[in-house]
């Protein structure tokens, strides 16, 4: 029987770790959500949207062929660890085309096994079967649950520089789509960007537009919820240091500033562009 791709269960983003309840907690890996399918037709790897990327992952496909199963559907994340063991999203993109041997598949759920659909089985039973399926020492690894209280675990993950944590309700079934049985909480990080301008519209929150330092390439906006002193200094600076917009940028409600203004922004770790970002401070690089 040829197995079909199953749309993944997607965790719901929450603001802070859970307190109490019967949950297991895992590292949230910074990579590409993927699905390995093994059946009589061979071994294939799909993206989270169901695209067949088997040809892009020849080494992982070969590794998956070593799993002792007749058929299986394994849910997980493809990552590239850096020298400290943390997932490196930028390196992941390069590895797909140039360094296949750097790719790892971190497996965290088993949806199908040897002719049986496991999605109605409780989470911890599916994971127990999955753990027994994956041998040690290969580039397909099992995502171990983390012992302890959620708040303490999250604190350690944040200090270690990881992207965040996923909490999964014990006893829960696997259902495709967004679910509150899986909750993710992300860590924040503070980075420096170039301030491009300020977007202000009547009746709406004001946002600072950010660009990559050096290129001024737009990377997203940051909510201006800083102290009153910083806000007032920002409005004054925008009025006195007006400048041209970045090439090809059109945003009518934006007041642009001259190049060279740096800003410190707090935002979610592990995102390509700014998300849930807030302006912390800004300064003129030339002063």
| Residue environment code for 245-262, b if the CB has 16+ CB neighbours within 10 A, otherwise e | bbeebeeeebbbbeebbe
* Under 8 Å between Cβ of 243 and 249: no
Does residue 178 belong to any structural domain of this protein? yes
- Read off the pLDDT of residues 62-106 as tens digits, 9 standing for 90 and up: 999 999 999 999 999 999 988 777 787 778 878 888 888 899 999
- Domain that includes residue 77, residue range: 9-186
* Under 8 Å between Cβ of 53 and 46: yes
Residue 52's nearest CA partner among 14, 112, 5 is 5
Do both 258 and 180 map to the same domain? no
The distance from CA 86 to its chain's CA centroid, rounded to whole angstroms, is 13
Does residue 111 belong to any structural domain of this protein? yes
pTM of the predicted model as reported, rounded to 2 decimal places: 0.75
- Read off the pLDDT of residues 149-160 as tens digits, 9 standing for 90 and up: 999 999 999 888
- Read off the pLDDT of residues 203-227 as tens digits, 9 standing for 90 and up: 778 888 998 988 888 888 898 876 7
Report the mean per-residue pLDDT for the chain.
Answer: 89
Does residue 42 belong to any structural domain of this protein? yes
Domain limit, last residue, from 165, 186, 207: 186
Does residue 1 belong to any structural domain of this protein? no
How are beta strands 278-284 and 261-268 bridged, if at all?
antiparallel
Q: What's the DSSP call for residue 67?
A: S
> What is the C-alpha separation between 76 and 110, in angstroms, rounded?
9
CATH value at residue 72 = 3.30.470.30
């Amino acid at each position: 029987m040829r197995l079909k791709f199953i749309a993944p269960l997607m965790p719901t983003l929450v603001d802070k770790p859970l307190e109490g309840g019967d949950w297991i907690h895992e590292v949230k890996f910074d990579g590409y959500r993927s699905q390995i399918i093994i059946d009589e037709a061979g071994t294939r790897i799909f993206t989270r949207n169901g695209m067949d990327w088997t040809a892009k992952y020849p080494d992982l496909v070969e590794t998956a062929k070593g799993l002792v199963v007749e058929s299986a559907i394994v849910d997980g994340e493809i990552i590239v660890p850096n020298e400290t063991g943390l997932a490196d999203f930028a390196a992941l993109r390069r590895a797909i085309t140039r360094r296949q041997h750097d790719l790892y598949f971190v497996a965290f759920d088993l949806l199908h096994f040897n002719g049986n659909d496991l999605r109605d089985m409780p989470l911890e039973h599916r994971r127990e079967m999955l753990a027994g399926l994956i041998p040690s020492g290969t580039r397909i690894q099992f995502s171990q649950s983390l012992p302890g209280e959620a708040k303490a675990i999250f604190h350690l993950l944040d200090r270690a520089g990881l992207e965040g944590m996923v909490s999964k309700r014990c006893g829960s079934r696997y259902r495709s789509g967004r679910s509150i049985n899986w909750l993710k909480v992300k860590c924040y990080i503070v980075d420096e960007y170039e301030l491009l301008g300020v977007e202000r519209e009547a009746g709406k929150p004001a946002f600072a537009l950010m660009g990559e330092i050096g290129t001024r390439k737009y990377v997203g906006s940051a909510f201006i919820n800083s102290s009153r002193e910083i806000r007032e200094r920002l409005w004054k600076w925008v009025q006195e240091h007006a400048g041209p917009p970045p090439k090809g940028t059109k945003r009518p409600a934006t007041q642009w500033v001259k190049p060279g203004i740096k800003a410190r922004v707090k935002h979610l770790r592990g995102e390509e562009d700014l998300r849930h970002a807030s302006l912390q401070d800004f300064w003129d690089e030339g002063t």
